[in-house]
Structure 1
Amino acid sequence: MKVQIGEHELEMGSTYLTELRSSNDILNDTEALRQRLQEDGYLLIRGFHDREEVLEARMEFLRSLQAAGKLDPDAPIEEGIIGPENKGGMWGRSAADLQEEFPHFLNVVNSPKVFSFFEQLLGGPILTYDFKWPRAIAKGGNTGAHYDNVYMGRGTKNVYTMWTPFSDIPLELGTLAMLLGSQNYEKIKQTYGQMDVDRDNVATGWFSDDPVEIVDMYGGQWATTAFEAGDVIIFGMFMMHASLNNTTNRFRISSDTRYQLASEPVDERWIGKKPKGHYAWGKTPSKSVKEARKEWGV
């Protein structure tokens, strides 16, 4: 099967693209999960969330898209068909601001099961960023390759992203993809990986929108899979990831939420009832990633 990432078409099972592996076989072995997270850079867990709660949350997002005029008015709301303007949705804000409209969403990502899992994995009481990043990706949309640290690296580096899809997501709907081995790209980690988008104001914050270029230059292999409602993938701040293009006429709805030990420093941009978020990025003329990479020598 061929999939689209940016301008490139990649074949599943090729040099550039393989299948993510599930960690459900070691789900009850915390030490094995920690070791796999270090070795693979991610944990894919099938059926982690309650499926019905996830689908209830999906309907919250679809109702919001409908109210904004972004769904096809002639199609049933539950199908999530994109409207004629093909505009996505982004609900990035604090949990306090999301609570009234999206209670099922918060029940999913802030559930006791989520907290218990991260407390066991990280070995102590945890906190989650108050700011949440749910989004709906329209047709043609995708995300370029990046480390999360460039967006939220002012506290501990031991922050973990949980990506949650809010429906069954086949590859053509635009699944998340991990770049295997990228957590060991030391030169990239010490240059691009130390960037702060608010301090340095580098265009998109992506390292590249060309998945083939990175593999050819630095090795590794992209990996993705079809997801079902209830699945999650968890990864750290220095795991390069991107998304496949959404090539369908339906919205891909997903969220990014972050977790860390409560005892470690936290990036102040993403906590509190009114997190300030990105306060400088994009406010002045920015440097291109191409220019920055030339300076970094990567």
Structure 2
Amino acid sequence: MDLTPRDLGARIMSAARARRAPGFSIESGETVADGPQVYEELTDVVAAVLHGLPNEGWAQPARPYRWSVHDLLGHLLAVERYTATRLGVPGMGGIPEPGDDHHLTFADAVIAFERTRAPTNTLADWWEVVGRVRDIARPGLLPDRPVALHGLRLHPPALLVLRGFELWIHAEDISRAVHAPPTIPSAGAVRAMAELSIGKLVPLALPAVRVAPARDVRVVLTGAGGGTWNLALGDGQASALLVLDVVEYCRYAAGRHDRADLDVHIEGDAALVEDVLAASRLLAV
């Protein structure tokens, strides 16, 4: 049965309110949202953006991709199913395993199939999978070992932060496509995404972009959800300082800003700072 946008929107927002955990706050960078909170918040953001989409909005190009907004939702549906299988959700079935090529291509068959369906049905299926991931994202239900996603092995809470990061960026892609204002996540979610990116993934990715020995870098991300990270990359001696806005950093790391777009303050070893910034983009969605 085809769902009308009004019916589907009511179902999604009612379920979102019922599922949402009590709110959390962040002051002076002291509180960080955990993985399930980040995932819940940012799936709600995607749902809210799509719920208000006019019919003509589904066909708009979802740059920087070759897809329409509906195609992008088909991609999200495929990745959500894949994420669910990684976390042990049963009954997903028929999910292709991403190969050595970019993760954007593994969902082509799903996207092609969803083009034959009403966008609201694609949205309903995506929301159903989201609900199953949320249901398992509770203490004692998630796997207690690292799991693979996009070539990374992450503990499930970190994986949910990564997935939430991707979902927020795609919500902004959709908002741009339909000329809607962007949504800034809560400070707790921003801090969790920044911690995953600059605190954990950048040190892993840096050797891929830097041949010369590195020294330590102090990174200060300003604004709600920001913080300070001392990246121990070398001999324990700080040789550089990088300061920029935390939300702009996250957008840059996701490949949505060019380097020239960033308003950054750099002291010390500028080449090392540029390598840190380049490393942040190696996992761009």
TM-score scaled to structure 2, two decimals? 0.28
TM-score scaled to structure 1, two decimals? 0.27
Q: Answer 1 or 2: which has greater helix percent.
A: 2
Q: Answer 1 or 2: which has greater strand percent.
A: 1
Comparing both chains, which one has the higher relative contact order based on Cα–Cα distances under 8 Å and sequence gaps of 6 or more?
A: 1
